[in-house]
């Protein structure tokens, strides 16, 4: 199961790298916002910092639409995790799209 998951991530990355066209958000703007996510979600766009002690979902390589939907659900209260609710409440829809575009593409270029 783990190997399948890694293969999927690699395939998604390869796809993202060969297809610079983004669905909606701007990954470069999104990257500038990831400083508020990195403390919990670890290396931006890739893996969690402390998967053994604190379970946090990996964001990198997820579908952009899925990430935007999840953030909206935290903001609306449909998903009810206290930390993510507070984070999502501070994000505009554009921020969510940019962040999702960044994490979906795992863009790793310059941040400024």
What is the binding site for ligand HEC (CB under 6 A)?
33, 36-37, 39-41, 56-57, 59, 67, 70-71, 79, 81, 83-84, 87, 99
- The distance of closest approach from Cβ of residue 32 to ligand HEC in the complex, given in angstroms and rounded to an integer, is 11
18 vs 73, which CB is nearer to ligand HEC? 73
C-alpha span between 73 and 70 (Å, rounded): 5
Q: Within a 10 A sphere around the Cβ of 111, how many other Cβ atoms?
A: 11
Q: Distance from CA of residue 102 to its chain's centroid?
A: 7
14 vs 54, which CB is nearer to ligand HEC? 54
- The distance of closest approach from Cβ of residue 24 to ligand HEC in the complex, given in angstroms and rounded to an integer, is 15
- The distance of closest approach from Cβ of residue 99 to ligand HEC in the complex, given in angstroms and rounded to an integer, is 4
C-alpha span between 48 and 77 (Å, rounded): 24
* Tokens 């940019």 -> residue: 98
């Amino acid at each position: 199961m783990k190997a399948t998951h890694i293969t999927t991530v690699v395939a998604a990355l390869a796809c993202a790298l060969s297809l610079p066209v983004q669905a909606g958000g701007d990954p470069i703007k999104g990257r500038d916002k990831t400083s508020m996510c990195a403390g919990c979600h670890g290396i931006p766009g890739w893996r969690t910092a402390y998967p053994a002690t604190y379970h946090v979902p990996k964001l990198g390589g997820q579908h952009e639409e899925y990430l935007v939907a999840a953030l909206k659900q935290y903001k609306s209260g449909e998903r009810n995790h206290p930390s993510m609710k507070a984070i999502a409440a501070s994000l505009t829809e554009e921020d969510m799209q940019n962040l999702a575009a960044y994490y979906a593409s795992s863009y790793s270029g310059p941040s400024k």
